[in-house]
Amino acid sequence: MITKGFTFADLFAGVGGMRIAFERVGGRCVLTSEIDEKALATYFLNFPETIDHKLVKDVLKLSTKDFSLDPGELDVMVAGFPCQPYSLAGLRLGLQDDRGGEIFTALLRLLRTVKPKSFLLENVKGIRSHDDGNTFTYMLEQLTKCGYTLRHETLNSMTHANVPQNRERVFIVGFRDSSQAASFEFPKRKKLTKTIHDCLEPNEVGEEFYYDGKYPASREISSAVKSRDTIYQWRRHYVRENKSNACPTLTANMGSGGHNVPLVRDQKGVRKLTPRETANFQGFPKSFKLPKVANSHLYHQFGNSVTVPLIERIAKQMAIALESGK
């Protein structure tokens, strides 16, 4: 815990994974921005005080007055901004995509006007290779022009957070003070000691999660999903076995449209992960509350979220670097 404390703004907040991580190391959230109403329902359930403090849903409409701090006073701006334009699974239009271009331009505007002392951006690994690396190079150039010294790295939840999910993400950290940037270090590799069983429900779950006999592909799925120590995926037309002894990358479309559905075999049969289990594979605390909404919404929310313990390790290093410059 960093006892001095610091302020942060939670942009593209989702269900609050970034917020949990930064609060754990002494951060105080001063602004929340999230446009998805269903994600906000989950966020409000777990952070009810957000209703009383500053909430601006659309990042494109944010301005300096919304931060309730003078330019240069905010310690950290956090933004796990939408990945669809840069994902290998998306349209890969990058900054030519309306969402990608407008959102990144808005982030640059906020960095120039709000002038946070530091920032953390998170996105999919594919952002590095988009357009032969030109998109990522351009983004780094523009972020540097905003007055920041940058550090960036690709980290995996499985290798850097002791969370059994194979999830690679790109992290960009920037500091206005170059000496703070020099003192910042991304977290080192951490041995994976947890298994999928640390995240799976220990008892039988609801009937609605089981595949046996319910779908045309049930027989094929039941035949392919053999081990109780492995998570499989239904990939529209075939079952994929994940040999890493970890959960494959959770996605926003898991459980919908018959694609990317994580499958397990338990004492009763073959089933998909429950929403609580997807939260567990993202490292959310057991105390995190799930609203009574359709499971498809919860799958979407946790697939879009971040791995909390990994963000916590990065947040701790940022807090140390900020403190070093005082």
pLDDT digits (tens, 9 = 90+) for 18-53: 999 999 999 999 999 999 999 999 999 999 987 656
Task: Compute how many other C-beta atoms are within 10 angstroms of the C-beta atom of residue 74.
Answer: 24
Tokens of 13: 């907040």
Question: What pLDDT shows up at residue 1?
Answer: 40
User: pLDDT digits over 145-166, tens only?
Assistant: 999 999 999 999 999 999 999 9
Q: What is the mean pLDDT of residues 158-186?
A: 97
Per-position DSSP letters for 207-248, written without gaps between them: GGGB-TTTSTTHHHHHHH---SS--EEEESSSEEE-TTSSBP
- Residue 262 pairs with which residues in a beta bridge? 233
Report how far residue 270's alpha carbon sits from residue 322's, in angstroms, rounded to the nearest whole number. Answer: 48
Catalytic residue among 29, 83, 146, 247: 83
In the residue annotation, 83 being an active-site residue is answered as yes
Whether residue 112 has pLDDT greater than 50: yes
Query: How many degrees, rounded to 5, is the angle at CA 152 between CA 245 and CA 299?
Result: 45
Question: What pLDDT shows up at residue 84?
Answer: 57
Report how far residue 8's alpha carbon sits from residue 11's, in angstroms, rounded to the nearest whole number. Answer: 9
pTM summary value: 0.92
| CATH numbers and ranges of domains, the chain | 6-190+303-324 (3.40.50.150), 196-293 (no CATH)
More confident residue, 185 or 241: 185
More confident residue, 102 or 206: 206
User: pLDDT digits over 247-306, tens only?
Assistant: 999 988 886 555 677 899 999 999 999 999 999 999 999 999 999 999 999 999 999 999
Residue type, 29: C
Question: What pLDDT shows up at residue 236?
Answer: 67
Find out whether 58 and 305 touch, Cβ atoms under 8 Å.
no
Find out whether 264 and 270 touch, Cβ atoms under 8 Å.
yes
